[in-house]
Amino acid sequence: MEVVIRKDESSVAALVADAVDRLARAKPDAVLGVATGDTPIPLYRELARRVDAGAIDLSRFRVVMLDEYLGLPAHHDQLYRRFVEQEVIGPLGIDPDRLYGPDSTARGEQVDRAALHYDTLLTRLGVDLQILGIGSDGHIGFNEPMSSLASRTRIKTLTEQTRRDNSRFFHGDLARVPTHVLTQGIGTILDASHVVLVATGVGKAAAVAAAVEGPVTARVPASALQLHRHVTVAVDEDGASELRYVDYYRHTYDNKPDWQGL
């Protein structure tokens, strides 16, 4: 895993935006996997700024979602699809037809079929670059602790902690936060060619340290990324504050040849 430590969240955003930019130049119709949450917002805004300035063209990208709530009405403003439309698709000038995600309207027995359908689609498309955030308990997507490290897209039950963390988007009312979701599995995420985990702020420091320097364990789903051949962990100083080998990470990145990119 390559750990890159930047001063603050805007420098993290610029770093990852450079990687997206590089991908777009090499492969204009690349498949970009996007995470929701607060963490990647500065990245999406930086990309939007570059698109507006005419510096990059992402219009031919295809965008795939990581996860989605189940049980919300089809037009609910907290569906992750709404977030991706508002923060990624619109601002980056991508046609909404090029956005793919799990079917949030699936109910009952349709849920397993919807999961399989999305997983098969992801395999067919092939994700070139997957952006990830990390939950305070080390989850990626909505793969909560004890998720199988080989899991595929499926229904998951959210932990109380994740529902509490996300209740801020539901007027602070825990009862309104869905209990179930569809999420790319850990095995599905590991199929992406390049995974970039973005983590900023001191609240993520313990999860980042466990994921990067701890044992590979289902207790910390993000630790499965240690098994992937091309992972970048992009963190700010606060997010890196519990990492032990910071000097090594800085030294390695400072001496990295420019042509390598992330």
Residues that bind ligand GLP (CB under 6 A): 35-39, 66-67, 133-135, 141-142, 162
Minimum CB–partner distance for residue 193 and ligand GLP (Å)? 19
Phi, psi angles (nearest 5°) of residue 154 = -165, 175
Minimum CB–partner distance for residue 53 and ligand GLP (Å)? 26
**CB closer to ligand GLP, 37 vs 91:** 37
Q: How far, in Å, CA of 197 to CA of 221, rounded?
A: 12
Q: Which two tokens stand for residue 246?
A: 């910071």
**CB closer to ligand GLP, 60 vs 149:** 149
Single-letter code of the amino acid located at 118: Y
Q: Is 132 left (phi over 0), alpha (psi -120 to 50) or beta?
A: beta
The set of catalytic residues is 67, 137, 139, 144
- Alpha helical stretches, state H, 85-167: 110-125, 160-166
Minimum CB–partner distance for residue 179 and ligand GLP (Å)? 13
Minimum CB–partner distance for residue 107 and ligand GLP (Å)? 21
Q: How far, in Å, CA of 223 to CA of 225, rounded?
A: 5
**CB closer to ligand GLP, 34 vs 56:** 34
**CB closer to ligand GLP, 30 vs 140:** 140
Q: How far, in Å, CA of 131 to CA of 194, rounded?
A: 9
